[in-house]
Amino acid sequence: MSSPSVLHVDLDAFFVAMELLRRPELAGTPVVVGFDGPRGVVSTASYEARAFGVHSALPMVQAKRRCPQATYLPVDFAHYAPASKRFHAILRDFTPVCEAAGTDEAYLDVAGSGRLFGDGATIAGLIRERVRAEIGITASVGVATNKLVAKVASDAAKPDGICVVATGEEAAFLAPRPVRELPMVGAKLEERLAALGLRTIGEVAAWPVEALRARLGRMGEELHARAQGRFEAPVLESRGTAKSVSRETTFGKDVGDRGRLRAILRTQAERVARDLANSGLAARTVVLKLRFPPFETLTRSWTGPGQVALADEIFEAGAELFERAWREEGERPVRLIGVGVMNLGPPARQLRLGETFEADRLADAVNALRDRFGEDSVRRATEMEDGSVSEPSG
């Protein structure tokens, strides 16, 4: 049985840790880094501040009520950026298969690095040593057979630790943990699961998948697989050929109208589908991105049993992700919305029973107009409003 080779490396309270390098007198005290003001939110809190219930994305006003004795510092990206760049350079010294997940975290697949550096656990230790020596801060690492379990393991290792989940032990490792620790489970979904008597990941894994599907739709199937420790998305090498295609729209004024957001999502899905068609690719995973003011960003993803390539398929999955995520966030106004696809490959699509090529032909006609007259030559009336900026990314 092979040893686990997927790592999730996460810098511990990164912004706070960087502030403590230049303010060592604050070590061991509650420290909060974030954006101040009536709509400001916490970016990072020290573990001492977390003991008072202060956490990332918490409104700053609430944070000051919960922990008035903390030291509150503004975000200083210029101070953090060189350390983030050095962190990712350290990771790439161990494997080119390195997928950045933010300024302070990344996934690695070190299956091909064993002869040079040792097994996954050994490499995790070497990475932590270099982060401490070269940057002066600490990192926690989860080591497992896939990204999902590695992410939960790195959270379990915090702060400043390593957690290795042996091959074949994924479900047993996850089982006793609160369901909220499973990536994709937010506050609202946690409440829905609790109403069903499902409070641990193991209880979700033990429920019949048909019952979860009946209550949660396609998300129920994904949730059931993840609760059992099954997750197929590979670690994606960040450099080289694009590994994803996405479209985003940033609003000049926050938008809270469901109809407009869904219309924009559909147009984005059409443009992503066009990019896939132009590249001769199809995708396995659909990703939704939402940003709330001022800079609070969340992503949700869905991986199906087969490929998606048509606009309707991408929109259907993206809209379902949007409805759940937006509902979980109290349907707050949105600053940015985006949809994208990952896990790209050559298309291998068959027509379903009763399916025709009408949707393909309509999409081809719309794409032809946009190719000839520009991106905005065909738009839905409900998405049109001054102040929004659409842009591709990938």
Whether the bond into 159 is cis, omega within 30 of 0: yes
- Whether 385 is catalytic: no
Q: How many CA atoms lie within 13 A of 140 on its CB side?
A: 17
In the 8-state DSSP scheme, what is residue 298? E
Question: Which position among 19, 105, 170, 328 bears the catalytic label?
Answer: 105
For tokens 């302070």, the residue is 104
Instruction: Identify the bridge partners of residue 246 per DSSP, sorted by sequence position.
Output: 340, 393
Q: How many C-beta atoms surround the C-beta of residue 354 within 10 A?
A: 5
* Rounded distance between C-alpha atoms, residue 4 and residue 164, angstroms: 8
Task: Identify which of 51, 332, 300 has the alpha carbon closest to the alpha carbon of residue 186.
Answer: 300
Query: Quick one: which H or E segment has residue 308?
Result: strand 296-308
**DSSP H helices in the chain:** 14-22, 47-50, 60-66, 77-92, 114-117, 120-134, 147-157, 170-174, 187-195, 201-206, 209-216, 218-227, 258-279, 311-328, 358-373
Would you give the distance in Å from CA 218 to the centre of its chain?
A: 18
Q: Taking the CB of residue 27, how many other CB atoms lie within 10 A of it?
A: 12
Measure the CA–CA gap between 339 and 261, rounded to whole angstroms. 11
What sign results for the dihedral spanned by CA atoms 131, 136, 142, 143? positive
Q: What amino acid occupies position 254?
A: D
Phi, psi of 346 (to 5 degrees): -60, 140
Give the C-alpha separation, 298 to 337, whole Å: 10
Could you tell me which residues are beta bridge partners of residue 291? 297, 336
Tokens representing residue 187 in the block: 């506050």
Distance (Å, rounded) from C-alpha 367 to C-alpha 388?
Answer: 21
Any residues with CB less than 8 A from the CB of 85 and at least 6 apart, and which? none
Catalytic residues: 105
